[in-house]
Amino acid sequence: MLEKFSPIQNDLSILKSIIGLGQAFHIEVMAEGLESVEAGCLLIEIGCSVAQGFVIAKPMPAQNVIEWFNRWQAPQEWLNIKRMQS
């Protein structure tokens, strides 16, 4: 979970390793518990562009999902990120 994530070197190494394994096996990795735009920026930079968490959407009734999907826009900071070279 990313709510207690801090970019300490060991934590960053673990994240990069998990994402790298997913890429090596052609498996899309999803970050769970994303709670800040800044953590989302870091994930995108290191190769994880799929996530779920409160920064994207709080839990909602099923009947609200289509309306949310049609209106939701990624934060501009995420759209401006360039991924690190693998």
Active site residues: 32
> Cα separation of 40 and 70, whole Å?
21
The pair phi, psi for residue 24, each rounded to 5°, is: -60, -35
> Cα separation of 3 and 6, whole Å?
9
